[in-house]
Amino acid sequence: MSSPSRAPARTRRRPSKLALDPALARRARQLARRVGRPVVDMARSHTTVSVERAVLRLAGVAGADPDGIPWVNRLLDAVVADVGLDHGVALPVFDALRRDGAEATPAELTLLAQKAAAGSVRFDVPAGRAAAAAGRAARRLAKAGITRIDRRRAERDRLVKRIGDPPQRPWIYLIVATGDIYEDIPQAQAAAREGADVIAVIRSTGQSLLDFVPEGPTREGFAGTYATQENFRLMRAALDGTSKELGRYIRLTNYASGLCMPEIATLAGLERLDMMLNDSMYGILFRDINPIRTFVDQRFSRQIHARAGIVINTGEDNYLTTADAVDEAHTVTVSQLLNEYFAKEAGLQDWQLGLGHAFEINPDIPDSFRLELAHALLARELFPDAPLKWMPPTKHMTGDVFRGNLLDGFFNLVGTLTGQGILLVGMMTEAVVTPWLSDRDIALQNVRYVLGAAGNLHEDFHPAPGGFIQRRADQVLGEAVQLLEQIASDRDPATGSKVPLLNAIADGTFGIMKRPATGGKGLDGVVIQASDYYNPAAEILEAGA
């Protein structure tokens, strides 16, 4: 694995402008650990169908049947039908390979999947010497897959060193989404030439609810393009060419969320994506995916991201599209603290934490701009080494493109004043149409003007001691601590739950969405690990962390 010294440059530590109480900030993190630890314990004791399919992908199983169902799905389904999932997929699969007299290679594994789909393979849970032999073979191929991810990370490091990073911060982040990967590519390249530093290929609507990853390049998506390994490869190759042309490394983003979070994270690592959307609660709240499934899948996916040197982007901005951005500001801070804890526990470092927050306060509220400054500066000072992801206004965009462009300019100015790390380009046609290339060009002009004119204005901006901005930041942090204390002390007497965060999610604490731990999509794909459960990839990732 490449040296951390080659990681993207960290945000330079700045003197505090909010005079936050350091004891209160420490208390907030202590409480986040207290709330998060039971979730991690739960994740460590469970597995899911997607975690196990990710293991098979790392071992080299590839391709799909004539109906487009991936062989990893067909192989896993056959194992589950014979022996269940609580022992993991590795031992039964590699034992069957050994009994079949086949070598432990990716090609033979894929052939085994094809035989299993035809019903010609019987799976058992091996014991004794048979289990040891299967375990050794499984670890060898899982390690080979992780080594490929290590090589792609080292490749990124070399390219960044040779080509160069963007000269300024924040990095300018722009979304491309046509549904057709062959249309996305020229649009992404055009956006990079106009100043975008990060290209996000937004995912087709509904893909997060598919319990399989589509195969091959895709030309039809719905408000986005399907996340597939081949689409990742095509876009990464195209942006590599544009990076060399422009003399700055263009980063690529996609979505590691939904029912296939661990698999998509694995494919992203194998194809050298640079950032992935990966939030602790987004899928639970906004896609009604089972909370336990999400937390188990997420821990493994973040271990992959940590190994691959991928920056995660979290989704706190989404809470403010359903809840009030002033009244519920403290829930964003709580989510950021939880995302930080879960990420670091999985092995991610500060420079990989693109924690989300957004410019979503109703502009008709008096002092709305000052409130936005307070919230953005609070996030910046609570997480000084994280490249925060600053999100543009969406909820209060009315369709008036002139007003929308002005609001985006205010958003860009807050990003400059508070030293954000990743700035998503706002579109004045938000809530009107899917942006045209001309819309993106105007939006990028707005960003370039504000960043160029304001320059390092954050060096000169200092809120008045004891003034409105400092008082508001203190209030939000205090309310966040109160909420964490409330969550940490909660025990559900009806269920005896020892995971208080699950109760808080069920109560609608975040984004006003109520999602019970026993509901949502994908719960049937979660199992408690048996005493002899074995996951060779998790073993390697834990050791590496």
389 carries an active-site annotation: yes
Q: Distance between CA 190 and CA 186 in Å, rounded?
A: 6
25: CB partners within 8 A, 6+ apart: 382, 477
134 DSSP β-pair partners:
none
β-bridge pairing 46-48 and 526-528: antiparallel
Q: Give CB contacts under 8 A, 24+ apart, made by 216-219.
A: 216/64, 217/181, 217/182, 218/179, 218/180, 218/181, 219/179, 219/180, 219/181, 219/182
One-letter amino acid of 260: C
Token pair of 489, please?
């002390």
For 508, list phi and psi in degrees, rounded to 5: 80, 30
Beta bridge partners of 356: 389
Ramachandran quadrant class, 251 (left: phi over 0; alpha: psi -120 to 50; beta: rest): beta
Residue pair 404/45 in contact by the 8 Å Cβ criterion: no
Half-sphere exposure of 409 (CA within 13 A, CB side): 14
Catalytic hit among 274, 317, 408, 439:
317
Cα–Cα dist 139/539, whole Å: 9
Quick one: 37 exposed, middle or buried, by C-beta within 10 A (0-12, 13-18, 19+)? middle
Q: What residues have CB less than 8 Å from 274, skipping those under 6 apart?
A: 156, 198, 251, 252, 253, 310, 311
DSSP letters along 216-239, please?
S--S--SSSB---HHHHHHHHHHH
Which of 389, 408, 474, 521 is an active site residue? 389
- In 118-260, alpha helices (H): 128-163, 181-193, 229-246
Phi, psi of 304 (to 5 degrees): -65, -45
Catalytic residue (choose from 173, 255, 282, 533): 282
Give the number of other Cβ atoms within 10 Å of residue 497's Cβ. 16
Provide the CA 209 distance to its chain's centre, in angstroms. 16
- Catalytic, 282? Answer yes
* DSSP type of residue 535: -
**Neighbouring residues of 451: CB distance < 8 A, sequence distance ≥ 6:** 168, 170, 172, 412, 416
Residues taking part in catalysis = 282, 317, 389
